Amino acid sequence: MGRGRNRSTDGLLPGKRMTRVYRAVLPPLTLGVLLLVAWDLATRTGAVSTYFLPTPWDLADRFIDEIRHGELLDYTEETATEALAGGGLGLAVALPLGYLIARSKIAAAALQPYIAATQAMPAVALAPLFAIWLGYGLLPIAVLCALLVFFPIVVNTVLGLRGVDPEVMNAARVDGVGWWGMLWYIELPLALPSVLTGVRNGFTLSITGAVVGEFVMGGEGLGQLLTVQRQEDDTVGLFSTLVMLCLLAAVFYGVVRLFERLVKR
């Protein structure tokens, strides 16, 4: 009984759990420190001009100053709104379409070539068309984000549903489970890990779609800020904005990952 109480909620002993944490945290942390030291040495010794690569300390000062006194958070909020809107739109289309492809051979044969063809068209080439068709503002940028989100979610939804054991589904049918019960209680739970992997990757890509959309169609987000900083040759500002984009992508990825872990419990 005492041994059982010492186990954590995920079934691991505290020592083993800490070992897992160390293995997950220490390698990327060590690599990050080494890269930071190399970066500092490269700029401090003059091997790389600070015009092209600012020192990590100048970048940290600029980033903190932009957070405290600048408008970086306002730009970030705009980009996050566009990415979330596009991600939601892509998710709403991709999930039912993925189910249709997974469960209908005719639909799969008809749709898969066109879905694959959408990935051959670069987002930056489609953005001007969306501006002509939909105007400017949130809607065309959200649609552009949705296109980037759409493909990984569709692919992973199809893989997850096709990976459901047919014997489990046949047994459920014998017990009288209908279409909705099959989907909600059997297919969705078993396919959920694969689906959430697609959602995680897709929502991370939605930030790229938002930035590309702002490059072409304007806006008030981080893409527009990058355009201004590029025109002003503001290298430190460019790096500061890129850091914020990386943090935003990490937040999106982490939130979906956290949801995935909560669902698995």
- CATH at residue 119: 1.10.3720.10
Report the C-alpha gap between 203 and 208 in whole angstroms. 9
Q: Is residue 179, in this structure, part of any structural domain at all? A: yes
Shared domain for 75 and 204, answered yes or no, is yes
Residue 60 within any structural domain of the chain:
no
Residue 174: predicted pLDDT: 84
Identify the CA nearest to 207 among candidates 95, 84, 118.
84
Total Cβ atoms within 10 A of residue 149: 30
pLDDT at 1: 43
Structural domain includes residue 28: yes
CA atoms of 186 and 180, how far apart (whole Å): 10
Overall size of the chain counted in residues: 265
Q: Are residues 147 and 236 in the same domain?
A: yes
Query: pLDDT of 50-70, one tens digit each?
Result: 889 999 999 999 999 999 887
Look at residue 206 in the predicted model and tell me its pLDDT: 93
Residues 253 and 170 both lie in one domain: yes
Residue 53 placed within a domain: no
Position 222 scores a pLDDT of: 94
The pLDDT value recorded for residue 166 is 86
Residue 61 lies in a domain: no
Based on the domain organization, do 23 and 127 belong to the same domain? Answer: no
Q: What angle do CA 222, 226, 228 make, to 5 degrees?
A: 115
In the chain, where does DSSP find H-type helix? 2-5, 14-44, 56-69, 72-103, 105-118, 123-134, 138-162, 166-174, 179-181, 188-217, 222-231, 235-264
Residue 213 contacts residue 226 (beta carbons within 8 Å): no
CA distance 236 to 52: 9
| Claim to verify: residue 78 and residue 28 sit in the same structural domain | no
**Which residue ranges in the chain fall short of pLDDT 70?**
1-15, 17, 21
Q: Rounded to an integer, what distance in angstroms lies between the CA atom of residue 200 and that of residue 197? A: 5
Does residue 70 sit in the same domain as residue 43?
no
Residues 213 and 254 in one domain: yes
* pLDDT tens digits, one per residue of 135-175: 888 999 999 999 999 999 999 999 999 998 888 888 888 88
Both 110 and 182 in a single domain?
Answer: yes
* Domain span at 196: 66-264
Domain count, the chain: 2
Residues 247 and 185 placed together within one structural domain of the fold: yes
Do residues 193 and 256 touch, judged by C-beta distance below 8 A?
no
Residue 39 and residue 92 in one domain? no
Alpha-carbon separation of residue 99 from 38, 44, 145, 182 (angstroms):
48, 55, 21, 13
What is the pLDDT, as a whole number, of residue 2?
A: 47
- Looking at the structure, tell me whether residues 162 and 256 fall in a common domain: yes
pLDDT, residue 178, reads 85
**159: in domain:** yes
Does 7 reside within a domain?
yes
Domain contains 165: yes
Same domain, 191 and 71: yes
